Amino acid sequence: MSRTLVLVRHGQSDWNLKNLFTGWRDPDLTDLGVKEASAAGQRLKAAGLHFDIAFTSALSRAQRTLKLIQAELGQEDLETIRDEALNERDYGDLSGLNKDDARAKWGEEQVHVWRRSYDVPPPGGESLKDTGARVWPYYIHRIQPHVLNGGTVIVAAHGNSLRALIMALDGLTGEEIVAQELATGVPIVYKLNADSTVASKDVLAG
């Protein structure tokens, strides 16, 4: 019984590079992001992982990251389920803005609250708590059963949708999870117990 869950944040996107709030907007990976995704696949292959099913968001940067990982693993035909429940946090009115421009418009303190508080959403957008409210049920009903049935499952998604999952898996508070940085293209390998608790966690950094 493998009961393995792998979480991977997509490789660097064009808007990550330009310091823009991305959210549900759909920029592609940079050249570095492509390399990060391929390197993630290489590390997963070196760890001997072979997947039964994959989940990703409705956004192309996560989907392309997953495809690059699959190519490294020789699993291009892996069953893949795409769902907007795994999309990045919706930044609402901040989407597409340079973070420095947002600070100039609303003030550094207010933008910091929107970025780093757990339950205060930006105008027209989602807080991390709101993001969790769509990620957690999807995980419980769609992803977790495959893991608990003994499968090896990969989820390629986004900084905040994965933060919501990590918060639940690691038993973190809202304050603890917003302080956690999640590197692009670095797989996190969880082994779960039969009761869905975490048996082990391994970060496959380069």
Residue 54 near residue 78 (C-beta atoms within 8 A): yes
Please count the helices (runs of H) and the strands (runs of E) in the chain: 9, 6
H/E stretch holding 42: helix 31-46
Residue among 36, 88, 126, 146 flagged as catalytic: 88
| 10 in catalytic set | yes
Residue among 10, 36, 126, 146 flagged as catalytic: 10
Residue 204 near residue 186 (C-beta atoms within 8 A): yes
Residue 169 near residue 157 (C-beta atoms within 8 A): no
- Listing DSSP states for 56-69 in one string gives E-SSHHHHHHHHHH
Distance, CA of 143 to CA of 149 (rounded, Å): 10
User: Residues with catalytic annotation?
Assistant: 10, 88
